Amino acid sequence: MAVALGIGAAIAAGGAFAHDDPMPKNASAATKAAYARHQNFENLGKAFKGLNDELRKGSPDKAVLASNARAINTAATGLPTWFPRGSGVAARPMSEAKNEIWSDAAGFTAKAAAFRTEAAKLNTIAAGGDIDAIKAQVRPTFMACKGCHETYRQEKKG
């Protein structure tokens, strides 16, 4: 449980240090996609953080848990569309997307599908309101999300 609770904070903290560069005027479609993707990941991090923050409370609000789980599920469902070809570092130098997203599309698709499956489970469980079951599903959902990071995400320094 402690690991799962720390996970949301780690995701949100990573987003806080991430890209603070404005989108250039006359940005290409690929650059716009890279900026939109970044915002989508920021929102995903906020949803994980919101879920974990709520679970730390003595009496978590089931509606807040369900809302954050829905946001995670929505993000997981849309995630494969966030990576149109050409939207990596060439389109936005601060992008954390590795080229392997496109060169190993089958592997990336499989990882995204695993995240989508776990996020759907979390969403269903959260909608039912069983706090213990939600707590139990947070870690598998996060680990499926994190499953892409080593292969498909490069950490940017600074």
Per-residue model confidence as pLDDT tens digits over 36-58: 999 999 999 999 999 999 999 99
User: For residue 27, how many other CB atoms are within 10 A of its CB?
Assistant: 15
pLDDT tops 90 at residue 9: no
Helices (H), the chain: 2-16, 29-56, 62-78, 100-103, 105-128, 131-146, 149-152
Residue 155 pLDDT = 82
Please give the Cα distance from 5 to 52 (Å, whole number).
5
pLDDT tops 90 at residue 20: no
pTM: 0.85
Q: What is the tens place of the pLDDT at every residue in 94-150?
A: 999 999 999 999 999 999 999 999 999 999 999 999 999 999 999 999 999 999 988
pLDDT tops 60 at residue 8: no
What mean pLDDT do residues 32-36 have? 96
Q: Is 89 helix (H, G, I), strand (E, B) or coil?
A: coil
User: For residue 48, how many other CB atoms are within 10 A of its CB?
Assistant: 27
pLDDT tops 80 at residue 21: no
**Token couple for 44:** 């995903």
The CATH fold of domain 2-15+52-152: Four Helix Bundle (Hemerythrin (Met), subunit A) (1.20.120)
